[in-house]
Every structure is written in structure tokens, then in C-alpha cells.
Amino acid sequence: MSTTKNSKEKKIETKSSASINIENLSGVGPAIAEKLREAGYSSLEALAVASPNEISSITSIGEATIGKIIAAARDSLDIGFESAAELLERRKSMEKFTSGSEQIDAMLGGGVETRTLIEVYGEFRTGKTQIAHQLCVTVQLPREKGGLGAEALYIDAEGTFRPERLLEIVEKYPDLDPKTMLERVVYIRSFNSDHLQLIVDKLPNFLQEHNIKLIVVDSIISHFRSEYIGRGTLADRQQKLNRLLHKLLRLGEAYNLAIYITNQVMAAPGLFFGDPTQPVGGHVLAHASTYRIYLRKSKANKRIARLVDSPCLPETEAVFLINEQGIQDP
Ligand code: ATP
Ligand code: MG
């Protein structure tokens, strides 16, 4: 990345802004700074990606005051209006890493992109969790081998993460030392939707100290699906899901990392032909995802991935296999 043109970028992306105290923001005196720190908002990034209502409810500082502080934090990180030329420049700092499947990489326009949210949905055993494991390994590959030389964070809502599986997958990549690879995947189990939100709210300070380029949430919907049953609670559920997704998106943007989330399917009622399944989560999820990928089973251990929604890529398909060594080209 060029350092002169992109000085703005550096501020957002690297840890350099960690040296700027939150006290330097207008509206933040020592008392407010202390309250913010206690609540876990100790960096500009943590403030910039938060919402007024979230901080206000924890710190009992008024929403209007918090709103101004957040605006000041975003300002000092240069998050705000920009020209298309600046945006293009910023998009150049997006990075891509391989999924381990040439076909999936090609479908995504060259690999898994940072600053984006990829949602993968499909029926059980279609490979959503397997791809999540695979990406935790490939993101660690050196750049010349298609990786980002970075770490991964795995948020497991279903209890299906298996370090043993990572060890099988890594055998295909002699550039990675298995033991170090395992140490560079940070794992956390979430137990309900509030816990999941809390984990995500705490991430800014954690991300400040780690070189994470991939966050997995497997799955984004399972807690919500089991906790909110019945139509009456749907609006509440969607509001919470929306908050969670936007926080994740803002983290992806502020820390230049990829977000991979999995989603489940439900039968589409009243559909008499075509594929009878559709993703759960409604418009909230559809709007938050940059890329949506639909997985379905094919013959033997083959799977078909279809890019169903993307801002600028055509709707294409990729075929892959799941075997001992992970995700492979057929
Ligand atoms: P769910 O909705 O139940 O979470 P999923 O889409 O996450 O399903 P995965 O767990 O990713 O599904 O995929 C399971 C598939 O991966 C199974 O068909 C299984 O056979 C295959 N698989 C898992 N581990 C291995 C392995 N070590 N060798 C070969 N295939 C494997
Ligand atoms: Mg799974």
C-alpha cells in the first residue's frame, strides 16, 4: 500500500491511531473518558463503530453527548463523506485471500475480500462449516501463496468447530506449521444472541491487538431462531439481528477484514418449482451481506456454490469437493 496517498487509510487500518487518546476528542473530559474506558470503549475505533444507544445504555451518558463523541471519533479516523476517487483509492486497500478452491475464488472475483461480509447459506451438511474451517487456514498463508499472513477469529454459535479438522486441512499447506496455525485461530463459543452481541461489541479492543483478517460467525441465525419463536417476536428479532450485522460490517470496514457468516434455510411456502429453500433472516440479512452464496449438494461429495447476490459480479456457480484435506477443486 502506498503510504503517501493513503495516509487516511493507515489511520483506519493500522494500530497507529491507538496512540491518540480518546481524551483528545472534543466533548470527552477525564470523567467521561473514564466511564468510556470502563465500558470497554478505549480506542477511537471502538467508538467509531459503536452506536449512541449502545454506549449510552452501558455508561448512562446521554445519547446526544455520545452521538457527538462518536461523530468526533469517526471524523478523526476520516470515516465520512468522500469522493468516488477517494473511495476507489480506499477500495485498493481491500485485500483478497484464497478459499483453497480455484472455482470459488473465481466466482468471488479472485478470492475472499476484506471489508466485505460474505453470507453462505444452504441445507445441513452442504459445507458451510467446512468452508469456515478452510478459510481459517488459508487466511494464514503467506501472501505469495494467496493468503494474508494473518490470524482468524472463530465465533461458534453451534458448537461444531473442530481444531482436529484444521490439522487435517493444513496438511495440504507445507508453508504453515500446524502448531503455529492452531495458535493463530482464536476461538470463542457464543451461548445466546445477547452473548453473541456482547462478544461483537467487545471486539474493537481485541482487534486492536491482533492481526485478524477473518471473522467467522457460524451461524449468525441459530440463537435468534431458537430464542424468538412465533410471529409476534419477529420485529424484535430482526432489530437485534440488524444491530449485530451492522456492527460486524463496521468492524470489517474499520479493521480491513473479511466477515464470513453462515445462515440456515427454510422451506419457501407456495413454491411449486425451482429450489424450495430460501435463507432465513429476511431483508435484514439480505441487505447486510455483500456476497450471498447458496450451497447445495451434488453427486458424491461434490457441492455446488452459487453466487446469488453481489454488488458487481455476475451470478455464477462453482463446484467443489469436501474431502479429508478440506475444500478442493473437483
Ligand atoms: P449444518 O447446517 O448442519 O451446520 P454445514 O453446511 O455446516 O451443515 P458442514 O459441517 O460444513 O455442513 O459439512 C459437512 C460435510 O463435510 C459432511 O458431508 C461431511 O461428510 C464433510 N466432511 C467433514 N469432515 C470431513 C472429512 N474429514 N473428510 C471428508 N469429508 C468431511
Ligand atoms: Mg455447520
Per-residue pLDDT, 99: 97
Q: Which ligand is nearest to the CA of 120?
A: 1
Residue nearest to atom 12 of ligand 1 (CA): 125
Sheet holding 151-156, edge to edge: 185-189, 151-156, 212-218, 258-263, 117-122, 291-297, 302-309, 317-323, 326-328
Per-residue pLDDT, 14: 35
pLDDT in tens, the chain (330 residues): 333 344 433 333 333 444 568 888 988 999 999 999 988 888 888 888 888 988 998 888 999 999 999 999 888 877 677 788 877 877 788 999 999 999 999 999 999 999 999 999 999 999 999 999 999 999 999 999 999 999 999 999 999 999 999 999 999 999 999 999 999 999 999 999 999 999 999 998 899 899 999 999 999 999 998 898 766 678 888 889 999 999 999 999 889 999 999 999 887 666 555 666 788 888 888 888 889 999 999 998 899 999 998 888 889 999 999 999 999 999
Fold type of domain 96-328: Rossmann fold (3.40.50)
- In DSSP terms, 76 is beta-bridged to none
Per-residue pLDDT, 231: 63
Alpha helices in the chain (DSSP H): 7-13, 30-38, 44-48, 52-59, 63-76, 84-91, 102-107, 128-138, 163-170, 178-183, 193-209, 222-227, 234-254, 282-288
Per-residue pLDDT, 266: 81
Q: Which residues, judged by CB distance below 6 Å to any ligand atom, belong to the binding site of ligand 1?
A: 122, 124-130, 160, 168, 322-324
CATH superfamily of 2-76: 5' to 3' exonuclease, C-terminal subdomain (1.10.150.20)
Residue nearest to atom 9 of ligand 1 (CA): 127
Per-residue pLDDT, 271: 55
Q: How far is the CA of 262 from the centre of ligand 2 (A)?
A: 8
Q: How far is the CA of 123 from the centre of ligand 2 (A)?
A: 9
Amino acid letter, residue 280: V
Distance (Å) of CA 199 to CA 56, 246, 247:
18, 14, 11
**Residue-range domain boundaries for the chain:** 2-76, 96-328
What angle (nearest 5°) sits at the alpha carbon of residue 156, between those of residues 223 and 59?
Answer: 70
Q: How far apart are CA 192 and CA 194, in angstroms?
A: 6
* Residue 181, all three cell numbers: 496455525
Per-residue pLDDT, 142: 98
Q: How far apart are CA 132 and CA 129, in angstroms?
A: 5
